[in-house]
Chains A and B, each alone.
Chain A
Amino acid sequence: MALKTSSPRKGGISRANGPEGLDSIPLRYGDDPYVWACWLYYEDGMTQGEIAEAMGVSRATVNSYLADAREKGIVNISIEPARLASLTIAQELKRHFGLADCLVVPNDDNTRPLIGRLGAAGAQALSKMIKSGDTLAVAWGRTVLSVGEHLDMAPLQDVTVVQATGGTTASFAYTPELTTAAVARAISARCVNITAPAIVASAQMHDMLLAEPLIREQFDTLSRANRIVFGISSLRPNSTIHTSGFFESVPLQHYLAKGAAGVLAGRFIDERGRHIAGPLDDRTIGISLEMLRGIGTRVAVAGGFDKVPALLAALRGGYVNVLVTDAATGAGILRADGVTSLDGKLSQRQKSTPVANAYRTHVKKFLNNPNDVVEEMLDGLIAAHKPYLQPIGNSRRALVARNGPRPGKVGLVIGGGTGHEPCFVGYVGKGLADAVAIGNIFSSPPPDPIAKCAVAASGGAGVLFVYGNYAGDVMNFEMAAELVEEQGIPIRTVLTTDDIVSSPVEDKEGRRGVAGNFFVFKVAGAACDRGMTLDECEAVTRKANDRTYTVGVALESCSMPQTRRHNFEIGPDDMELGMGIHGEPGVSRERIRTADEIVDTIMDNIFKEMKAEPGDRVAVLVNSFGATPLMELYILFRRVEQRLSAKNITIEANWVGHYCTSLDMVGASISILHLDRQLTDLLHHPCQTAILSINAPETDGAARG
């Protein structure tokens, strides 16, 4: 027999096409008839009948091979994930809120502005719905104007587009008049404006205007609307509600106090979508919420995280029956309304049974009383590191370096929660930090021990606070600074913000401080020990922080001694990129990849921000989050070194090990300090601490005490 296709792969099939059938599966398929059948079907494009002949089995057998192969996961049919996600979200929104239709635009890396994408999608939705003879009401707003700008459809007959509210000042581009006109123009419809202000000075004026025959006629048109398109505004500080000047701020406060969650067509609703009565009611000229709800097709076009509560309120209130939004907002709305089925549907993963934790619910730890872990750790730590540090007075939550503070030297105080050992206490000693304040697990120390540290560290030249940028630490250190400054000790603060994936570059100040602390502390300690002034110490520490870049990846969650349970779960095949040192869930969860690929992702992120030239020098820290062994850290370091040397960047010094951990988390972070002459000099400055000792100016980098 002859086969229709002529792929070079056919050779094997022809040979196998003998009477012996399955006994002679071509070698490359192993012994697996499923793979063989699938290959012929999906790769060679043969019909089931042809395959049956090729394999020497019945067509029914081929059919069941193909079906079983999908069950067994030999064949996976996948739709491009972003598109699939938006379809899934649209379907869930439709189901959950009983919508007539829902269009969700995929998240495309935010390369195009959201308003434009929503406008295009809204235009697409409208063009499918509007029919000749319709009356379409249009509410004002940025997104709706964008819909009008994108609308492009074949001319219809007898369509009327009517403005849903009165007019506003023309100080912005998306006034009710312009928005309505844009939509009308796009579909060549008759345009009816409401020729009265949206908000008038008094209820009396409102009634008078509505009694005017012209305006009454315009409202008659509005009352005939069988479709409406509108945006939804949140009441968050930079929403259009505030920036448009549409509402005066005083009544806005009134609505906020009454729990306003959103605004549609100039009317306020609470989180359940109920109308909120207020001073503007009698002064607003435009469609009422009751009228709106009576319209057959009610298309809402809105997106952006800040609008989730407002959109949810509008959906709950039944104001929307066609929703156009974006995937992230859509998913947000569903989550906010307690729909949990979505995550499972989105992850598109094989159903696997969770065996791992079936027989074990607690993580094993060396413990006496779980409530005493911090105290008992401090007992051991103070005894172990006696040569470097001692308690201040009788407080073990405030430790001072022996031979650290001295008159005329700027004092360096560091600190933070426990659970990060050797951070922060391992970096106290001569040439590095003068004192450390110690909090509970993952919790900032209170102001009192911080203030004690500052007083102990003070040598009359001021004190520098260096700590990670976390809300709790900032509040406690600020309160301590206030206390100490009252005693005449000047305080300067540098917050470490080295975790570059924790916030975008525009919000650098909002980033958190993680393992890169190590470099910032080292530079600050050296600057203080050199006798630099408080100003100079602060400046160079700030520079070190600005030039330190860290990205972390977690493979398994950490567990608190008190609970001995994982703080959260990372799936069996997943990793969490951008995880901080407190086990806060990271920025994105992805499938785990090879060590080299993970390092490449991290280094690509770092190179994106670090403007390093060939010949530049860096210091490298490959840090374990607690449970990842040195063996794996060296594998990571290997790739870091390859990537740096490919760019002709020299590693001036490196450290590989446990430098800033997160209890027993499995994972690691990579920190790069982009050196200049001054930073290199300070990095090599001698210091003696429990974890880091540098003895002479020319250490070989891999110095670990």
Chain B
Amino acid sequence: MSETATRVLARMFERMSEVIETEKDHLSELDGAIGDGDHGITMSIGFKAVNAALSTLDLDTASPSDVLSTAASGFLNAVGASTGPLYATGFRRAAQALADRDQLDLAACRDMLGAISEGIRDRGKAQRGDKTMLDVWLPAAEAATAGVASNLSKPDFWKAVENAAENGAAATATMIATKGRAARLRERSLGHADPGAVSAAALIKAIAGASCTQAE
């Protein structure tokens, strides 16, 4: 019997929390350039709360969907801000998308990434090119869809998703913010990568890492 999907998901969140802790200062610095300088702190508080909430779950009985909705409420109750509603909505959508699944195969991962990015898009009412985390989540979700369609192996699938995410984050430096606090800077936001996009790429990398070490 392979490792349960629930446990893999829980490990994904653990990895996400770790990577945010490592990147915390860097993210705040990026945010200082075009926002209010707290993105690293906000993400760190959020993912610590997610871990705290997940530690109360019994991973032997909880479903994958339970993990995602617990993470959503944990994150939202801890941070608010703009990342709170965005990720909470994303994770909740992912919980719905995985409701009938007990396997975390690549198709399930594709659905999860797709649901997260749609949730973020619907809540934030942003679109691609607005210099937000969506410029990472949408291409990553698309790469996942394409990866499943072309039957990529697991490492290749995640490689493609990670690449799409990283390219998306880098591309935000050439965009002008139209949402959030950076929008007030107009062209002064150019040349600065969006901190929300950079943290999104880091999260996707963590998800990929956790999935690739999944015991078969």
Contacts and interface: CB of A to CB of B under 8 A. Distances in A.
A585 interface: yes
Contacts of A306: 176
A305 B131 CA distance: 13
A448 B77 CA distance: 7
B187 A328 contact: yes
Interface in A654-676: none
A261 to B, nearest CB: 8
Bin chain B's interface residue count. 35 or more
Contact of B184 (A475, A502, A583): A502
Contacts of B183: 510
Contact of A443 (B33, B42, B176, B179): B42
A184 to B, nearest CB: 35
The binding surface of chain B is classed by DSSP as helix
A286 interface: no
B184 A305 contact: no
A545 interface: no
A261 B129 CA distance: 9
A338 B192 CA distance: 8
Interface in B154-193: 167, 171, 173-176, 179-188, 190-191
Nearest to A584: B181
Interface stretch (A7-15, A329-337, A485-493): A329-337
Nearest to A578: B184
Interface in A416-430: 417
Contacts of B36: 442, 567, 582-584
Given A440-B81, A472-B81, A587 B38 contact: no
A400 B191 CA distance: 44
A471 B124 contact: yes
A646 interface: no
A224 to B, nearest CB: 35
B86 A332 contact: no
A602 B187 CA distance: 23
Contacts of B79: 440, 443, 446
A446 B191 CA distance: 31
B64 interface: no
Given A309-B175, A563-B28, A447 B76 contact: yes
A297 interface: no
Contact of B173 (A261, A305, A336): A336
A476 B190 contact: no
B175 to A, nearest CB: 6
A547 interface: no
Given A328-B187, A568-B32, A584-B184, A446 B84 contact: yes
B37 interface: yes
A698 to B, nearest CB: 41
B37 A563 contact: yes
Nearest to B164: A259
Nearest to B84: A446
A289 interface: no
Interface string A434-447: 00000111111111
Nearest to A559: B37
A475 B102 CA distance: 32
A475 B85 contact: yes
A580 B183 CA distance: 13
A681 to B, nearest CB: 35
Interface in B27-83: 28, 32-38, 41-42, 45, 76-83
B187 A305 contact: yes
Contacts of A93: none
A585 B34 contact: yes
A271 B174 contact: yes
Given A309-B174, A471-B179, A580-B184, A338 B85 contact: no
Interface residues of A, number: 56
A332 B41 contact: no
A503 interface: yes
Given A305-B187, A445-B80, A502-B184, A583 B37 contact: yes
Given A470-B181, A475-B123, A583-B36, A338 B191 contact: yes
A340 B192 CA distance: 11
B76 to A, nearest CB: 5
Contacts of A562: 41
A443 B180 CA distance: 12
A479 interface: yes
Given A271-B174, A447-B76, A475-B123, A440 B42 contact: yes
B105 to A, nearest CB: 24
Interface in B103-126: 123-124
A472 B190 contact: no
Give the one of A331, A337, A443, A479 with max B CB within 10 A: A443
A545 to B, nearest CB: 18
A308 B187 contact: yes
A447 B85 contact: yes
B41 A308 contact: no
Contacts of B186: 305
A439 B81 contact: yes
B23 interface: no
A308 B177 CA distance: 12
A261 B33 CA distance: 24
Contacts of A358: none
A512 interface: yes
Given A308-B176, A567-B32, A332 B187 contact: yes
A335 B81 contact: no
B116 to A, nearest CB: 16
A256 interface: yes
A309 B82 CA distance: 26
Contact of B84 (A235, A335, A476): A476
19 contacts: A236-B129, A257-B142, A271-B174, A332-B176, A443-B42, A444-B84, A446-B76, A447-B80, A448-B77, A470-B181, A471-B124, A472-B84, A472-B85, A476-B81, A476-B84, A479-B85, A563-B37, A580-B184, A584-B185
Interface of B: 25, 28, 32-38, 41-42, 45, 76-86, 123-124, 127-129, 139, 142, 167, 171, 173-176, 179-188, 190-191
